[in-house]
Homo-oligomer: A and B are copies of this chain.
Amino acid sequence: MNENKHTEIISDKEMKSGITAPMGFLSAGLHCGIKRYKKDLALIVSETPATAAAIFTKNKVQAAPVLISKKHLNSNDKFRAIIVNSGNANACTGEQGMKDAVEMAALTASALNIKPEEVFVSSTGVIGEPLPMEKIRAGIGKIVDMLSEDDSNAAAEAIMTTDTFPKFTSVEFEANGKIATIGGIAKGSGMIHPNMATMLAFITTDAAVEKNYFQNVLKKTADKTFNRITVDGDTSTNDMVIALANGVSGAEINDDSSAAFETALFELMKKLAIDIVKDGEGATKLIEIVVEGALSDDDALKAARSVAHSPLVKTAVHGEDANWGRILAAVGYSGIEFNPDDFEIYINGTCILGKNYDVKLSIEEANKTLKPNEIELLIKLNEGSGKANYWTCDLSEEYVKINGSYRT
């Protein structure tokens, strides 16, 4: 991992603020009783109307909050709040689930004196069980009085499920002479105790961003970050990324500043994505797969995805076994064109396999390249100029334990 690249644009606010780093945003998180002890309700508010962009799960089975948030995005231009609960996904809950999601938006709007369609709703947790609405009603009543611009740790904690640490970051950039900030919080896509593999991310910025452009950029950036990570390949009914832009900094994103905005957004989303992988269930190592020299970027992405999803590769990395045959085979069944004779593999900068199956190191020496907790697996195909990155984690016994016995 080349973490140094980040430091130029990530400010020292990163460690304390997340979504409240940009001006004009407030957040809060509390325990309302859906979970036994931990925080389970989060609220994010923009003090002024904000444009929004959002990405929703492609799963054919979509939870009620996904349907309601989609509807609001499509029928409205300005937004003020995101209400999120953890511990219950409000998925596969039929008509009652829709009513409950609608009520969550209405209660939040009423407490904030805004319109229900200015509110996004998000849930994660158990599926197939009705939301405990009395707890949520009481929680929404309380949480509006706790809103603060100090930091977003409480909100980042309140959206966690099996995550072992809250995920938040922020980035500053210059747009037309003004300093703007983007902040974000996220929760993991590792398979989620007790039930679902849900990835949630909420992003805020005090730049002014036009709605259609915002949507395109969010989608494009997600394709290079959140859509290039895998813990186990499952996709949830509740996955959601929502971004709000309130323009309070006065920095406008136009042709002159779009490059800076997109770079900053990419770095922010990449950081959150990598944090999700690091916190994959049972993960002990972060693996960045870099494929170079494919015939096209698309081919490189196919090869990288195939390696990232291979349980053989992921267990080998876990066991610190530099098993190049498994890597080569995973590229081999990715469906891309390449000549295996031209294949090279580098682990954390050390070449372990050269062209024509030239094994560079003894097994013992090669295995040492897998000792670190962060592994860069560079695959050079030497066929063209296509390249791609993908992030995953190792597959450990712990992963199976977490997911095999969730209700026992």
A359's partner among B58, B128, B337 (CB-CB below 8 A) is B128
A59's partner among B333, B356, B406 (CB-CB below 8 A) is B333
**In the assembled complex, which residues on chain B have CB atoms less than 8 Å from the CB atom of A235?**
329, 332-333
**In the assembled complex, which residues on chain B have CB atoms less than 8 Å from the CB atom of A232?**
311-312
* B328 engages A408 (CB within 8 Å): no
* Bound form: Cα–Cα A319–B401 in Å: 8
Assuming A128-B324, A234-B312, A397-B397, is B319 touching A404 (CB within 8 A)? yes
* B234 engages A311 (CB within 8 Å): yes
Stretch at the interface among A38-46, A75-83, A191-199: A191-199
* B405 engages A309 (CB within 8 Å): no
Please indicate which of the listed interface residues A60, A233, A336 has the most CB atoms of chain B within 10 Å of its own CB. Answer: A60
**In the assembled complex, which residues on chain B have CB atoms less than 8 Å from the CB atom of A399?**
311, 315, 400
Please give the count of copies of this chain that the complex contains: 2
Tell me whether A330 is interfacial, beta carbon within 8 Å: yes
* Bound form: Cα–Cα A399–B395 in Å: 10
Tell me whether A269 is interfacial, beta carbon within 8 Å: no
Q: What are 20 A-B interface contacts by the 8 Å CB criterion?
A: A59-B333, A60-B336, A60-B337, A61-B328, A61-B340, A126-B325, A127-B329, A128-B325, A191-B315, A196-B325, A196-B329, A233-B309, A312-B403, A316-B404, A316-B406, A318-B404, A319-B403, A319-B408, A321-B408, A400-B400
**In the assembled complex, which residues on chain B have CB atoms less than 8 Å from the CB atom of A36?**
none
Assuming A94-B357, A332-B59, A399-B400, is B405 touching A325 (CB within 8 A)? no
**In the assembled complex, which residues on chain B have CB atoms less than 8 Å from the CB atom of A332?**
59-61, 235, 237
Beyond the given pairs A195-B323, A321-B408, 4 more chain A to chain B contacts, judged by CB atoms under 8 angstroms and listed by A's residue number, are A92-B357, A128-B359, A237-B328, A316-B403
Tell me whether A72 is interfacial, beta carbon within 8 Å: no
* Bound form: Cα–Cα A340–B93 in Å: 11
**In the assembled complex, which residues on chain B have CB atoms less than 8 Å from the CB atom of A91?**
325
Tell me whether A326 is interfacial, beta carbon within 8 Å: yes
Tell me whether A170 is interfacial, beta carbon within 8 Å: no
Tell me whether A363 is interfacial, beta carbon within 8 Å: yes
**In the assembled complex, which residues on chain B have CB atoms less than 8 Å from the CB atom of A407?**
321, 323, 363, 367
List the 4 closest A-B pairs by CB distance, nearest first: A319-B404, A61-B332, A127-B325, A315-B403
* A338 engages B60 (CB within 8 Å): yes
Interface string of A272-310 (1 = CB under 8 A from B): 000000000000000000000000000000000000011
Tell me whether A236 is interfacial, beta carbon within 8 Å: yes
Q: Which of A366-397 contact B (CB under 8 A)?
A: 367, 395-397
* Whole-angstrom distance between the Cβ of A403 and the nearest chain B Cβ: 4
* A311 engages B233 (CB within 8 Å): yes
Residue of B nearest to A194 (CB): B323
Residue of B nearest to A395 (CB): B400
* Whole-angstrom distance between the Cβ of A277 and the nearest chain B Cβ: 15
* Bound form: Cα–Cα A232–B312 in Å: 8
* A400 engages B396 (CB within 8 Å): yes
**In the assembled complex, which residues on chain B have CB atoms less than 8 Å from the CB atom of A59?**
329, 332-333
